[in-house]
Structure 1
Amino acid sequence: MKLFKRILLVLVILVAIVVYTQYPKLNIISGYASKNMASTVFLTDRTPASVTVNDNNVPLIKLATVDVEDARARASVFGLMNREAVCFDGIGCMLINEEFDENSKITVPRRSKKANRMPFPYGDGPPKDTIFNNVDYGLLDYALDKAFENPDVQKTRTVLVAYKNQIVAERYTKGFDHQTPILGWSMTKSVMATLYGILEYENKIDLNHAAPISEWQSDERKNITLNHLLRMQSGLEWEEDYTSISDVTKMLFLDTDMTVGQAKKKSLAPPTEIWNYSSGTSNLLSGILRKQFKSHQEYMDFPYASLIDKIGMNSMIIETDQAGNYVGSSYAWANTRDWAKFGLLYLNNGNWNGEQLFDENWIKYITRPTEHSNGTYGGHFWLNAEKKFPDAPADMYSANGYQGQRVFIIPSKDLVIVRTGLAESPDFDFNYFLKNVLAAFE
């Protein structure tokens, strides 16, 4: 009997430890599940069942039960840690907490989606039926076949190849087409950086100026510039771990204002001495961007007026946090053709149908390898400078997002390649994919 009581006591203690250590994770799980469900259903018009079986069918997140009603989603895990996400026209969906006022006014961007029947990329009309003599279309078809051949593992959703500004290959899995918005995840970081490139071109900002964070001015952080933030070399502490309760998961699924978390972190090293990838830094940049404008409305309008609507990415929406800040680290949605337009803007050195949006030198800036990144990172873009992808050119650079969202820009080949899905390396072999696509242009 004494042995039984001891075993029971040990079991009780073990259960208590598990509950104590794992219970807070339920908040993250419910937050992710409700936010992802709300945004996907609201912005893409897909069914809750499809999101449950596919998008939310990942470890831990699939433990959540999600209910969808009107423009909101509620999630819990075994009835615990209820979280809710609500949706609004113009800004998508946001996680809310007890601070949220249902009666508060929501500021939405004023957009100018002009009907334009010009062919892709300069309009929303059908692409030109263009044949290039130097393109092997059989090999291109083979490359796309391989990208979709094992859907249960590769989980590819869309692929688009644009050569010399024209679509030469395009394919979609069942349930997706050229109008279906795709969550870019961290490809949003490259969009956020581009806004800084536009401001710099307009002489409204200097990347070498110290970041305007008042809390930093009395310590060593006062030496951190916008350049350091764009290059992820501020030296600030940040934990980018999506498998635990970390800085990034707390920011995305707990914080009311996602722009303040990184600003509160201590300095681990002087700027440039370390490189540390940080979604908190991208959202800090979103907060700094907001300070450039006299009103919240001007801030909300700027990304669309200066970039998104200007190049006809009419499907794109950047979602906000509860405090009204663009989530510049993670929450831009756009269909595959509009993601390709973003890549083509860069392929054309910032010139869009005759109008210069940012300086050509901006390309040199964002593609210059950042110290200590092993040649893989520039200014909020990923690089192939050290040939991480050995079968792709060294001048290739890309906007990268979670689960294998990619916009590859390859200037030497006059190519933009978009791939979206729910899997990345090793389940989706990007080097093999790029090798197959590039073979059609040699």
Structure 2
Amino acid sequence: MRTLKLFLLLLLSSLIGCSKDDDSTTPTQEEAMYFPSNTNSNWETTSSTSLGWNQSQIQSLKDYLFQKNTKSFMILVNGRIVMEEYFDGHTQDATWQWNSAGKTLVSETTGIAQQEGLLDVNNKVSQYIGNGWTNAPQAKEDLIKVSHVLTMSSGLTDTQLVIPSNLTYLEDAGNRWSYSNVFQKLMDVVAASSNQDFESYFNTKLKNKIGMEGFWNNGVIFKIYHSNTRSMARFGLLSLNKGKWMNEQIINENYFNASISTSQNINPSYGYLWWLNGKSSYMVPSDQTVFPGFLVANAPADMYAAMGAEDQRIYVIPSRKMVIIRMGNASDPANPNFALSGFDNALWEKINAVIN
């Protein structure tokens, strides 16, 4: 009997020990990835104190954001809000333009259309929207695949106003990287292949699935997406999770991984309309110069980003399970830029002082 009791005590002790070991590897509630509801405005938060951030540097970051004409700023960790700040009368419900940060919405919608079998990014653009969509000789137009438009390597003129007469031939597709608005032809490709307008397809397949609020507005030279800050953060959170929202893989993970990987051998810091950090060199809009080093030296090497004119930003940092949103007017009104600017490096210096 004593032997049996001893055996049972040892067995119980072993089970308790195993339970403790298992608990140590189980993520806490704050460590587990969180997704806000699609049906209400509740969004879980976590404190910067609990994350061990430098409290003495937070006000300096806020002051800098205000000085640089920011309208809104958010940081998510594991999907939870750590910082949510509004400036200059902007509010949680107010909408703002994404500018070229919205290119990433087009990229991922194109990926969804491919996974549904409506298109193939390796097919030529004219297969979907017909011949004569450029001013290039037909043989040169036929070289341009959907993937070339996704990667800014169509070889066409660096035009902002995308009309056939402006889309002239410079080099064969794939031989030149240049930042322009030719990307908007992807909207036409998706519309033609899905037999509906782009916005309807986008709303059904992406926006509504993650609870975004927003709309495409006809800008001066191309359609621009507008939304509130939390909707931008929702897309950032979807992107942090490689196209997965809650239990649904909305964007094929292989496609998403391709979209945040070097997409051509000319500008390694560019994917499928996403900007990539941590590469050996980079190029900037309206310039054929190749610069050595990281895109944003002060930012984590694994960061990928949606970048739009006047410093509209979605920074995604997988190593920190972090998403950062910045909306507002240009940080430097005298130099509104097309995408990348010196603001990124300066802002990351302030962010690092808080989170490191």
For 1:144, give the aligned amino acid.
L
3-state SS of 1:429 partner:
helix
**Among 239, 255, 278, the residue aligned to 1:362:** 255
Q: 1:227 is matched with which residue?
A: 147
Q: Distance in 2 between matches of 1:336 and 1:169?
A: 12
Letter of the 1:164 counterpart: N
The one of 210, 218, 221 aligned to 2:138: 218
Question: Conserved in 1, the CA contact under 8 Å of 2:43 and 2:80?
Answer: yes
Give the SS at the match of 2:153.
coil
User: Contact 2:153/2:173 (CA < 8 Å) preserved in 1?
Assistant: yes
Cα pair distance change 1:374/1:385, threshold 3 Å: farther
2:318 to 405, 411, 422: 411
CA deviation map 1:46-105 (0-9, x unaligned): xxxxxxxxxxxxxxxxxxxxxxxxxxxxxxxxxxxxxxxxxxxxxxxxxxxxxxxxxxxx
Letter of the structure 2 residue corresponding to residue 120 of structure 1:
P
Q: Is the 8 A contact 1:210 1:225 kept in 2?
A: yes
How far 1:123 sits from its partner (Å)?
4.6
Aligned length: 295
Cα displacement (A) at 1:267: 1.8
The residue that corresponds to 1:176 in the other structure is: 90
Could you tell me which of 61, 66, 91 is aligned with 1:144? 61
Q: How does 1:184-333 map to 2 (within 5 A)?
A: 184-212=98-126, 213-215=130-132, 218-239=138-159, 248=160, 251=161, 261=163, 265-279=167-181, 281-296=182-197, 299-314=198-213, 316-320=214-218, 329-333=222-226
CA distance in 1, matches of 2:47, 2:229: 21
Q: Using the alignment, how far apart are the partners of 1:309 and 1:414 within structure 2?
A: 24
Q: How many Å separate the matches in 1 of 2:257 and 2:316?
A: 13
Paired with 1:439 and 1:362, the residues of 2 have a C-alpha distance of 34
- Which digits, 9 at most, give the CA deviation of each residue in 1:265-318, with x for residues without a partner? 222111111101111x1221112222113344xx4421101111111112x101
- 1:358 aligned partner, one-letter code: I
Once the 2 structures are TM-superposed, how far is the Cα of residue 428 of structure 1 from its aligned partner? 6.8
The CA distance in 1 between the partners of 2:329 and 2:261, in whole Å, is 29
Question: In structure 2, what residue type is equivalent to 1:390?
Answer: A
Q: Taking structure 1 as reference, are residues 223 and 155 closer, same or farther at Cα in structure 2, changes over 3 Å only?
A: same
C-alpha change, 1:352 and 1:141, in structure 2 (3 Å) is same
TM-score, normalising length: structure 1: 0.61
Matches within 5 A, 1:109-124: 120=36, 122-124=38-40
Matched residue type, 2:148: H
Distance 1:295 1:368 in 2: 30
1:290 partner letter: A
Structure 2: where are the runs of 5+ without partners?
1-33, 280-293, 336-340
C-alpha distance 119-370 of structure 1, shift in aligned 2 (>3 A): closer
Over 3 Å counting, the alpha-carbon distance change for 1:317 and 1:385 in structure 2 is same
Alpha-carbon distance between aligned partners in 1 of 2:272 and 2:331, rounded to the nearest angstrom: 22
Contact preservation (8 Å) 1:397, 1:408? yes
Residues 312 and 338 in structure 1, CA contact (< 8 A), matched pair in contact too: yes
Matching residue of 1:338: 231
Task: Describe the SS at the equivalent of 1:412.
Answer: helix
Q: What SS is found at the alignment partner of 2:190? A: helix
Q: Is the counterpart of residue 394 in structure 1 residue 301 in structure 2?
A: yes
Match of 2:27 in 1: none
Q: In the alignment, is the contact (CA less than 8 A) between 2:277 and 2:300 conserved in 1?
A: yes
Distance 1:263 1:360 in 2: 37
- For normalisation by structure 2, the TM-score amounts to 0.75
Counterpart residue number, 1:97: none
Query: Structure 1 residues 140, 366: closer, same or farther in 2, change over 3 A?
Result: farther
Residue 127, structure 1, aligned to residue 43, structure 2: yes
**What secondary structure does 1:141 align onto?**
helix
Q: Deviations over 1:234-287 (max 9, x none)?
A: 111223xxxxxxxx2xx3xxxxxx5xx1576222111111101111x1221112
Inter-CA distance 123–295: structure 2 relative to 1 (3 Å threshold): closer
